[in-house]
Chain A
Amino acid sequence: MMRRSLSFVVMLLGLAVPALLAQDLTLPMKNGSVKFAVIGDTGTGDKHQLAVAKQLSATRAKFPFEFVVMVGDNIYGGNTAKDYDRKFAVPYKPLLDGGIKFYAALGNHDDPSERFYKPFNMNGERYYSFKPADGVRLFALDSTYLDEKQLKWFEEQLMASGSEWKIAFFHHPPYSSGETHGSDEPVRTQLEPIFVKYGVNVVLTGHEHFYERIKPQKGVAYFITGSSAKLREGNISTTQLTAKGFDTGYTFMLVEIVGDDMYYQALTDSGKTIDSGTVHRVGKVEPTPNRSAQPVVATSGKDAAKPAPAPGTRTAPAPAPGKTNAK
């Protein structure tokens, strides 16, 4: 009996320790900062989702994030109660049991009725916002159906949010170097002017089954984290947009906001860091019509200092640190 208990403990250690040791977390991990994780295209219920979920749970021991953002495709396939269990409640049970909140956005594979599933914290809405701490607000959008009603709501919310960090998350990436999907131009056409006008700082998306950090576009930092359960190996066709791409493993992302800096770190299911850096918010930007300057500028990470212009667009140069761009 004793021997069996011992071997059970050894087995547990064998599972947990390598996962923890593999992680090399470099975020500031400061007390009082806003910490969260980002996962995308998760709802398969397969071994890859479980592996990422396990690593995410292990990470929390070192980096105590308070909530998890899901950028869509939360439940693939069927939507029965069993599916919700297998593709969400079971993989993330340790986190859910630990009181970690998940905030979901709807992906193209999601049934809109998912918004009534309480653990997704969508309040029965296809789009919503929440404020995890003073000075930070996140906006979940339904990028499959960007109707006028939603866009009006988004503008009103942004207008009311004042000088907070404004982080939007939704499924379809406005910019992407993926061969399969690529940049979603209709989404970009509808949302980018709003991002720029109201000073959205960061956009988190999925859909593409890989990780990509896009060079800041018109002052907005874009991340794709769509490989938290599905992977399209070799699908990134590196373009001028790519600051960092990773399409050979399953990933998730950690985010920490400290004052005007947002630290990010992307990790694989084995805990290996594949990207990290900082997005610096240039001044506390109030909503400003006709904005053309940058509310954020990446200050670290590969290629961070060279924002790539989007075709046919103009990108203002980064102002000196500390200077506000508000006009």
Chain B
Amino acid sequence: MNVIRLLSVTGVACTLAIAPAAAQTKAAPKAQVSAATKQKAAEENANPDALVLADFQKRIDAYMAIHRAAAKDSPALKETKNPADIKRVQDALGAKIRAARATAKQGDIVTPEIQNKFRRLMYPAVQPTAQDKAAPPSTVKDIPVQGTPVQGTSGKTLKADVNETLKENTEERKEEGKQPVVFKVNASYPDDTPLPTTPGQLLMKLPKLPEQLEYRLVGKTLIIRDVEADIIVDFVPNAIQ
């Protein structure tokens, strides 16, 4: 566990320093489909994006086969008064999965073209709507705001929401005197790092995961985490554009 933590701290391949996200809107990410996928799409007369997502599903299935095999002989999580027991069970399963995919690296499951697809899927959800541009929410207090009684529904607010979480986490870490977060595939989720929000508006855009896995959005990095083994399965840097 300590070795893993040390690795995750020293790992340079995938360092993410939590810093406030840029406020300006970026242009929509362009589709990046590999030559192999293009060729396959042409041969099968299929939509390249559909092939990319099918490939993601195949890779997740392969991971889940490893997870299930490891879980077969591992103790199951059960209710306990001692939270250390929960961590022990997670770590035991995590160790087996790690051993079975010792060479796993970032991009094995979310390949560059899948990463690109994810960025494109989430992009519209975080863009300001025409309504936002026309009538930004009032910042005046104690005065009923006409016309915008329901907030949190537009891309602008969602982006603000993501940025707010980022700011909150950064402040929390600063207060506790902690170093910037570093993520590494196969490592545990850093014990001292908040598990932040993945807004529903974004989750709806992404392919569904088996119940043993979850998406977590840490700043602009989208993580796929194995909940039962507390393992970072893979992640997408700069997922929010």
Contacts and interface: CB of A to CB of B under 8 A. Distances in A.
B141 to A, nearest CB: 6
Contacts of A236: 141
Interface string A204-234: 0000000000000000000000000000001
A79 B196 CA distance: 13
Contacts of A77: 172, 176, 192-194
B108 to A, nearest CB: 24
Given A118-B79, A239-B149, A113 B86 contact: yes
Contacts of A112: 214, 227
Contact of B137 (A116, A179, A183, A187): A179
Q: Which residue of B142, B160, B197 has the most chain A CB atoms within 10 A of its CB atom?
A: B197
Interface of B: 77-84, 86-87, 90, 137-145, 148-153, 157, 160-161, 164, 172, 176, 191-198, 200-201, 203-204, 208, 211, 214, 227-228, 230
Question: Which 9 interchain pairs have the tightest Cβ spacing?
Answer: A182-B152, A182-B151, A186-B200, A108-B197, A84-B83, A81-B84, A185-B153, A239-B149, A240-B149
8 contacts: A78-B191, A81-B83, A84-B83, A144-B203, A172-B200, A178-B152, A183-B150, A185-B153
Contacts of A113: 77, 86, 90, 227-228, 230
B79 A177 contact: no
A144 B198 CA distance: 8
Q: Which residue of B83, B191, B192, B195 has the most chain A CB atoms within 10 A of its CB atom?
A: B83
A135 to B, nearest CB: 28
Contacts of B164: 180-181
A118 B81 contact: yes
Interface of A: 76-81, 83-84, 108-113, 116-119, 123-124, 143-147, 172, 175-187, 234, 236-241, 308, 310-311
Contact of A78 (B79, B142, B193): B193
Tell me whether chain A's interface is mostly helix, strand or loop, or mixed.
Answer: loop
Given A113-B227, A183-B153, A80 B83 contact: yes
Contact of B151 (A81, A108, A237): A237
Contact of B203 (A145, A241, A311): A145
A183 B227 contact: no
Given A76-B194, A116-B77, A184 B82 contact: no
Nearest to B88: A81
A238 B83 contact: no
A54 to B, nearest CB: 22
Contacts of B140: 237
Given A108-B196, A117-B81, A187-B200, 11 more contacts: A108-B197, A117-B80, A117-B83, A144-B198, A144-B203, A175-B150, A181-B152, A183-B152, A184-B200, A234-B141, A311-B149
Contacts of A240: 144, 149
Contacts of A76: 172, 194
Contacts of A143: 200
A234 B230 CA distance: 37
B157 A239 contact: no
A109 B79 contact: no
Nearest to B189: A111
Contact of A180 (B87, B160, B176): B160
Contacts of B194: 76-77, 109
Q: Which residue of A80, A124, A182 has the most chain B CB atoms within 10 A of its CB atom?
A: A182
A202 B145 CA distance: 25
A124 B204 CA distance: 25
